[in-house]
Amino acid sequence: MKKIWFSVIALALMLSACSGNENKANESSPNSEGKSSAEGKNESGSKSPDSGNKSIKVLLSHAEAEYAKTVKADDPYIKELNRLSGYNLSFDFLGHSDYDQQLSLRFASGDLADLVRTPSIDSTIHKDAVEQGIFKELGPLIDQYGPNLKKRIPETAWNSPRVQKDGKIYGIPVLVGTANDRIGLIRQDWLDKLGLKQPETIDDWLNYFEQVKVQDVNGNGDPNDEYGYTMFEGVGWSSMFFGTFGVDPGTWHLQDGKLVPDMISPKMKEAIAFYKMLYEKGYVNRDLFTKKEADFRADIYNGKSGSFAAAVYQYTPDFSAANAPKKFVNEPDKVKISMIAPPAGPRGERGLGAVSDGIYFVWVIPESVKNPEEIIKYLDWAWSAPEADKFFAYGIEGSNYTETGGEIKYDVSAPVNADKNAFQMFQLSINPREIGFNNDLVLKTLPESEKIIAGYKLSADIAFPHDSLYMPPLVTFQNNPEISTWGTMFVEMFSKIMTGNQPIDAFDKFVADWHKRGGDKAIEEATQWYDSFHK
């Protein structure tokens, strides 16, 4: 009985005690009970937890990487990283899909780690954390202990409000490692069969779609089961012709001194009319708004898709000369896929994938952490040491790769790298710098590396320029998510016009509604941000 009442009182205290300051007091000995026993087994690689201020606990998500999800105690990669760096790192990989929720619980209860992954310092997961003094200000520490961080991480990333606020730096960016990765993929073997060159203009593309529609390009005897272009319910991902009309539903452009979302631009109406035409003519699959991603992939593998929007990194595992025959069940001997840019439109515009700040996620260090300078030094090492470069690209020497006379031999499909996708562990999961798959050191070891590097270059060329780079999530949209860019209001209007449920002029009604339902406020807020950011 007594114990229960004690607990009730303790709870009451907890509820009140979750403010930043008191957390700090608890922080140094997080969750003493039961935890110590867990550590040895659970948090891999921490052999002697008391090795002084060189020990760093990292809290992050496993990002659905197979190896990290099932990582064991005494993992060889963590061991090797500790050996190379001289630090004692331990990793707590939380689930990815529920990471936001888990992280907010950790913040609410005050048990955090030394280095914490978050999408942004002003994320709603930990609303007001900067104001409440939860994160350590890192600017001076970086200047003193991390000279290479400023050198190696580009300024475009440091400028992002995801890492700094009011001129002070609270986060360290982890990079995507490439300017853009979106690209179109097209069935080169079908083009060849039809005697067509790779389409460039809108008319070229429409001609390809028409040929795919009327002919039996997959050769299964049914001329009606293939589409020139396929999409699925993730319209944001699978649409590839918005840029052709100079818009992207996710971005904003400056217009007469105001920052206005492309969603409501008159050019958007043209783009939607184009999609409507694709649908009416039967160039795109009619079930796109209910099609799940797995079914979309199934259609591609069954030879029902002539082209689709994708990313360069998908090429190697699914569409390369080595792997495509293992996927395209009906045409394993014929299939050949090319990377391609969407067409330029009436005004010569084109684009796929908006220009971004290049940040994958952000590291923060809680205010209570005792050895922030050591953490900065570790990150500095990760960004600058030659052995770190090699480790985060190729793993452990003698096991994942060999080096003879300065020549590195690394085969990504060798069992040691490919089983459980182990290469993801050193290139991504414990790599504190970037998504290592996109690193040049890695790209040049891939089969068909020239084609892939060219793909990344083409992708960078078609990155869609806009004026909303660095724009933080608008407060207006937090209150009315339905009017946000790619919000339900836009998608509903788009789907109804595209499928012919509503006439194209429903777009004008959408624009009027959007303004009324908070859009005007959003434009005002965005313009204010723009003016103050670009002073």
Cα dihedral angle (164, 167, 170, 174), rounded to 10 degrees?
A: 40
- Cβ 204 to other proteins, closest distance in Å? 26
Site of tokens 């009309």: 245
Residue with Cβ nearer other proteins (4 or 52): 4
Residue with Cβ nearer other proteins (277 or 416): 416
The answer for residues whose C-beta is within 8 angstroms of residue 527's C-beta and 6 or more apart is 257, 258, 259
Read off the tokens for 368: 């209570």
- Cβ 535 to other proteins, closest distance in Å? 28
Residue with Cβ nearer other proteins (388 or 489): 489
- Cβ 432 to other proteins, closest distance in Å? 15
DSSP type of residue 220: S
Q: How many CA atoms lie within 13 A of 374 on its CB side?
A: 17
Q: DSSP of 98-149, one letter per residue?
A: THHHHHHHHHHHT---SEEEES-TT-GGGTTTTTTT-BPP-HHHHHHH-HHH
Read off the tokens for 396: 């452990």
- Cβ 195 to other proteins, closest distance in Å? 28
Residue with Cβ nearer other proteins (235 or 364): 235
CA distance 190 to 211: 10
Residue with Cβ nearer other proteins (11 or 25): 11
- Cβ 207 to other proteins, closest distance in Å? 25
Residue with Cβ nearer other proteins (291 or 377): 291
- Cβ 406 to other proteins, closest distance in Å? 27
Residue with Cβ nearer other proteins (145 or 170): 170
DSSP type of residue 412: T
CA distances from 278 to 87, 202, 206 (A): 57, 12, 9
* 160, burial (CB in 10 Å: exposed 0-12, middle 13-18, buried 19+): buried
- Cβ 443 to other proteins, closest distance in Å? 11
- Cβ 50 to other proteins, closest distance in Å? 19
Residue with Cβ nearer other proteins (191 or 235): 235
Residue (of 365, 300, 312) closest to 139 by Cα position: 365
Residue with Cβ nearer other proteins (127 or 151): 127
Cα dihedral angle (407, 413, 415, 419), rounded to 10 degrees?
A: 130
Sign of the torsion formed by the C-alpha atoms of 459, 465, 470 and 475:
negative
- Cβ 166 to other proteins, closest distance in Å? 18
